[in-house]
């Protein structure tokens, strides 16, 4: 019996692959239902990780209709609104909304396999194996490690521009059909197109507990081009503060019988490598394969530690690249292969 704590992408993927291979598992999720809270934005699903997991789960063909056409396109601007780089993607990393992917995984599981409104705080369920798939602030992590996420020095303000083709046509044109970066002097506007909105993160270097408000954004991005500032000023609804945290690069633990971790619970990192969801899906597939084969847990853990450390270093390096004094030069050179 396997208890999976957390119904995020990694936990659900693990449950799905175990289910199709006849291994009993239960997913415990604190949320009351699948729609209890919003589920983030667009994800690029990589061929060598996330897509491999979808194939192992028998869901790859169901995933393809969820892909946003043209979502791989990329634009990079400076703070003056000058387009410094543009491409159409085509790099084997199709974009899909996190909610659509999560809904696909939920619908692939039998009724009752997910136990909603089941918050695991002090007492864990009885099981042969407990898998912590409970995200950045994992409760299960404390059973194997004393590591805690640390502030990465960057804060996001999350914003939305709804129905952009009608209500925000200039911003829709600016962002395009995929993703956009506008960077300068330790600040950035990061946006991507979703089916019904533009999803925007206003990002900047800040101290850990500094307030993240509309007034702070106005001061922080003063002097930027008006076309870029519309992404902040014309946002619909309230902004959501998102301080960025990460576990130490190379986080690992000694084997603990009956407990392991996957995804952000194991290797939380900043989003600047686009690896978080893909690693969670990959972890799930690798852990499932280990369990199905009856191999020791450290077979999965040792390989997971290696790939997570590499991605965490890439993420930290890309954060510095994007928020360097000469940005966006480094990112432009990165996309051009220099």
pLDDT in single tens digits along all 338 residues of the chain: 999 999 999 999 999 999 999 999 999 999 999 998 887 889 999 999 999 999 999 999 999 999 999 999 999 999 999 999 999 987 778 999 999 999 999 999 999 999 999 988 777 888 999 999 999 999 999 999 999 999 999 999 999 999 999 999 999 999 999 999 999 999 999 999 999 999 999 999 999 999 999 999 999 999 999 999 999 999 999 999 999 999 999 999 999 999 999 999 999 999 998 899 999 999 999 999 999 999 999 999 999 999 999 999 999 999 999 999 999 999 999 988 86
Non-local CB neighbours of 317 within 8 Å, separated by 6+ positions:
none
List alpha helices for the chain, DSSP H.
Answer: 9-20, 50-56, 60-63, 98-107, 164-167, 169-175, 214-220, 226-233, 264-267, 276-293, 297-322, 329-335
CA angle 250, 251, 252 (to 5 degrees): 110
Burial of 264 (0-12, 13-18, 19+ CB in 10 A): buried
The confidence score (pLDDT) of residue 92 equals: 79
Closest by CA to 183, choosing from 225, 211, 213, is: 225
Phi, psi of 245 (to 5 degrees): -125, 160
Closest by CA to 85, choosing from 256, 323, 336, is: 336
């Amino acid at each position: 019996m396997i208890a999976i704590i957390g119904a995020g992408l990694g936990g659900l993927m693990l449950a799905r692959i175990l289910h199709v291979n006849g291994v009993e598992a239960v997913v415990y999720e604190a949320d009351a239902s699948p729609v209890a809270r919003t589920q983030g934005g667009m994800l690029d699903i990589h061929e060598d990780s996330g897509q491999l997991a979808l194939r192992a789960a028998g869901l790859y063909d169901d995933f393809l209709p969820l892909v946003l056409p043209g979502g791989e396109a990329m634009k990079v601007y400076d703070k003056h609104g000058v387009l410094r780089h543009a491409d159409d993607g085509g790099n084997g990393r199709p974009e899909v909304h996190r909610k659509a992917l999560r809904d696909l995984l939920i619908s692939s599981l039998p009724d009752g396999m997910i136990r909603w409104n089941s918050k695991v705080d002090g007492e864990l369920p009885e099981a042969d194996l407990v898998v912590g798939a409970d995200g950045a602030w994992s409760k299960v992590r404390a059973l194997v490690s004393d590591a805690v996420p640390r502030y990465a020095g960057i804060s996001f303000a999350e914003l939305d521009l709804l129905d952009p083709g009608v209500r925000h046509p200039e911003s829709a044109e600016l962002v395009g059909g995929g993703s956009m970066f506008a960077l300068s002097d330790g600040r950035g506007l990061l946006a991507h197109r979703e089916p019904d909105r533009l999803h925007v993160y206003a990002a900047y270097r800040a101290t850990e507990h500094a307030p993240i408000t509309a007034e702070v954004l106005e001061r922080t991005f003063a002097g930027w081009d008006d076309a870029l500032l519309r992404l902040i000023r014309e946002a619909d609804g309230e902004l959501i503060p998102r301080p960025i945290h990460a576990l130490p690069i190379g986080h690992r633990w000694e084997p603990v019988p009956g407990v392991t971790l996957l995804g952000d619970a194991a290797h939380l990192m900043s989003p600047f490598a686009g690896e978080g969801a893909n690693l969670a899906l990959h972890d799930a597939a690798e852990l499932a394969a280990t369990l199905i084969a009856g191999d020791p847990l450290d077979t999965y853990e040792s390989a997971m530690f290696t790939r997570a450390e590499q991605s965490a270093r890439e993420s930290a390096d890309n954060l510095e690249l994007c928020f360097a004094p000469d940005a966006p030069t480094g990112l432009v050179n990165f996309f051009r292969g220099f």
